Structure formats: C-alpha cells, structure tokens
Homo-oligomer: A and B are copies of this chain.
Amino acid sequence: MINQLVKSIRAKEAPIVVGLDPNLNFVPEFIKTKAFKEAGETLEGAALAFKEYNKGIIDAVADLIPAVKPQIAMYEQLGIPGLEVFKWTCEYAQEKGLVVIGDIKRGDIGSTSEMYAVGHIGKTKIGANSIAAFNEDIVTVNPYLGSDGVLPFVKVCEAEKKGIFVLVKTSNPSSGEFQDRLIDGRALYELVAEKVNEWGASTIDPETGYSEVGAVVGATYPEQGKILRKLMPKAYILVPGYGAQGGKGADLVHFFNEDGLGAIVNSSRGIIAAYKQEAYAKCGEEGYAEASRLAVLDMKEDLKQALVK
C-alpha cells in the first residue's frame, strides 16, 4: 500500500491527506435539514447527514489529493448507522482512487489485535469464505501494549499489502505526559520509533524504499519531528495537527526526507469546515465543498512553499 500511496503523492504533487472527521457542527444546515426531514433527529438522520457531507467533500477534492483519513470515533458516536457511513465513506473514497487511512488507533493483546487487524485491513474467515469487514487500506495503531499488540497488524500488512501508522508522538497538548518521559536518557517516543523500524523491517517496498509500517508524529512538535525523521528513515510519517491544531507549513519541513517524500500531512477541520473560515466565506454554506477544494489548493501551496525553502 505504501507503494500506491507514494505514487499517488508524487502524481498529485500533494503530500496531503484530508481528515474526514464529520461533526454536526460542521455539516451545513441545508444538509442537516434534508437528512433530519428524511430520517429524523436520530442516529440514522445524523449518519445520513455525514454521508451527504462526506460525498460532497470527496467529490470536490478527490482529484487533488492521494488519501483521506476518516476518524472512526466520529462515526462510532452514531452507533451502527454511523459505522455504516464509515464503511460507505471508505468504499466511496476508494472508488474515487483515494487511499483510505482508517484512523482507528486500535491496539490490544495479540489475539485481540489480530481481530482488529483482520476486521479493518484483512479478511475474516467464515467457513469457506474470507470476507473484508471494513477494508481500509491503512490504519493507525496504538503501541502501548508493545510488540504483541502491533505485530498482528504487521502480519496482515504482509499478507494483504496494507499499511499501518503507529502512534509515536501525538499532536495533542498532553502527549508529552508519558511519550516525552526519559528512559535511559531518551524519550519514550524514541523507543517506540526504534520499534517502528524493527516492526517494519520485513515490509520495505523495494521500489520506494519505504516500509508498510509508518509512524504518527504531530505537526505541533516540529523539534521532535526532526529527531524522529532521522531515527526512522524508512517510515512514512503521518503528520496530524496542521491548521486547526496549530501546525504551520514551515514547521513541517523537517518531517520530510531529502527526496521530498517521507511524510503526509493531515488536515481535518481546516479543510472540511473551510466554509466557516473568513477566507472561504464567499463560498457560503451551499458551497462548502468548493471551499474545501480551495482550502486544499491553499494547503498544497503552503506546503510547496515550505518545502522549497
């Protein structure tokens, strides 16, 4: 999958992933009104609103970007109808040629992680059949349980040519509480990064030189990004926290390798709720998808400028 992702990043000249994290506060009124009229102010109604909203954004940006990253929590808050729309969103984005990164942050003891891996990026064996339950291309994984919790995902990556991004240094303000603590003089996130190298060693794509096992490092921590970039030369870095969380283009340069590759930057709110920003207000609510498109183009330019310097 990393091969496909890198090729698409190159072809579209955009190391950008759009976070499809719908929220009823972001969904334009006209979509909500229609959905609630059809299915009520219910889980089903809200899920229908998410579906329409996502469809508009995917249609508007699919030609510009290599990947989308639906955050499953947003859908899970709507229970079954929400998860049906999560699944639909993944499939619809794939039909449009996008790589789908399921932001699921799963991780458990070995036999349980295996179920998550199989359910999200593999196939569940039922009698004589093997069935993909969710079928994302790449998922995010939490490393707190150690190798046991991660290797079942790696095994599925090998078998199915899928990928994972392991949480190393997350973008949130309190990520340092545990992740930055020093162990033998080095931060916990460095130890996790070394494990990322180890876990991914069997999955290096010969063409691009990158591993199916990548890492999540927040844009909000550029100094740590610099260290981690060098520590994990073969890992793609998924960089959340750009835009709404405070990360800027100029902060991102150190997340990339010399080849201009090695990182893919996520923006969620900044793209999907762009119509609420002054810069794109002219699009109006009805033009929310066009606003998202303009915001992607601006982000592309911002990254280009930052990477040229």
Interface residues of chain A, those whose CB is within 8 Å of chain B, are 21, 24, 32, 36, 41-43, 45-46, 71, 73-74, 76-80, 82-84, 87, 105-110, 112-113, 115-116, 118-120, 124-129, 131, 133-134, 142-149, 167, 170-179, 181-184, 188, 191-192, 195, 240
Contact = CB atoms under 8 A, between A and B. Distances in A.
Contacts of A181: 183, 188, 191
A237 B56 CA distance: 47
A131 B178 contact: no
20 contacts: A24-B125, A24-B126, A41-B127, A42-B131, A43-B126, A43-B131, A46-B126, A71-B108, A78-B119, A79-B131, A107-B142, A142-B142, A144-B179, A146-B179, A147-B174, A147-B177, A148-B174, A148-B175, A149-B174, A178-B192
B110 A172 contact: yes
Contacts of A119: 73, 76-79, 82
A42 B126 contact: yes
Given A42-B126, A77-B119, 19 more contacts: A21-B112, A24-B125, A32-B127, A43-B124, A43-B126, A73-B106, A73-B116, A76-B116, A76-B119, A77-B115, A77-B124, A77-B133, A79-B133, A109-B240, A142-B142, A144-B144, A145-B172, A178-B191, A183-B188
A73 B172 CA distance: 26
Given A126-B43, A183-B181, A80 B83 contact: yes
A130 B17 CA distance: 32
Contact of A177 (B107, B112, B146): B146
Contacts of A71: 108, 112
Given A43-B124, A76-B116, A183-B181, A143 B144 contact: yes
Counting chain B CB atoms within 10 Å of each CB, the highest count among A144, A148, A240 belongs to A144
Given A41-B126, A124-B46, A129-B41, A73 B177 contact: no
Contacts of A143: 144, 178
A231 B172 CA distance: 27
A170 B144 CA distance: 9
A79 B123 CA distance: 11
Given A109-B172, A177-B146, A183-B183, A76 B115 contact: yes
Contacts of A182: 183-184
A206 B33 CA distance: 45
A175 to B, nearest CB: 6
B172 A195 contact: no
A97 B2 CA distance: 48
Nearest to A180: B146
B170 A178 contact: no
A65 B111 CA distance: 25
B146 A144 contact: no
